[in-house]
């Protein structure tokens, strides 16, 4: 199966290794991609587990009717293996009840306990 994040790699060689706990994302962009794939697959536990403790909601209430259509990374700043913070800009497309939607966000990531986590984001690009 091709990875939902759009990397062109197999799910097992890409986001599957993060979802399964075999590896941790080394960059903020890798975490962003793995979180998108978790939304596609309905993996709420992974999403909550990769959310910063200060901003993490109690639950997400994922809607199984949402069909995710694709992720486009617009850019990333910092967020590398040696960085403490990073930003990833993206567009995620999805359909709900036959209507197309776009989520544009500039997401902020931090390292917490040595691993990348999602802090928050500015919706609208």
Reported as a pLDDT band with limits 50, 70 and 90, residue 125 is low
- Check: pTM over 0.75? Answer yes or no: yes
Q: In what order do the strands lie in the sheet with 115-123?
A: 67-78, 85-96, 99-112, 115-123
Domains detected in the chain: 15-123 (3.10.450.50)
pLDDT score recorded for residue 124:
81
103: nearest Cα among 78, 77, 68, 79: 68
């Amino acid at each position: 199966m091709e990875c939902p994040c759009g990397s062109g790699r197999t799910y097992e060689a890409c986001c599957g290794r993060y979802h399964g706990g075999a590896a941790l994302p080394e960059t903020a962009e890798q975490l962003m991609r793995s979180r998108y794939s978790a939304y596609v697959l309905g993996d709420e536990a992974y999403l909550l587990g990769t959310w910063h403790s200060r901003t993490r909601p109690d639950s997400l209430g994922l809607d199984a009717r949402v069909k995710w259509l694709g992720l486009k990374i617009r850019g990333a700043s910092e967020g590398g293996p040696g960085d403490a913070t990073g930003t990833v800009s993206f567009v995620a497309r999805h359909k709900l009840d036959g209507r197309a939607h776009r989520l544009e966000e500039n997401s902020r990531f931090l390292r917490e306990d040595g691993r990348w986590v999602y802090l928050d984001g500015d919706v609208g690009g």
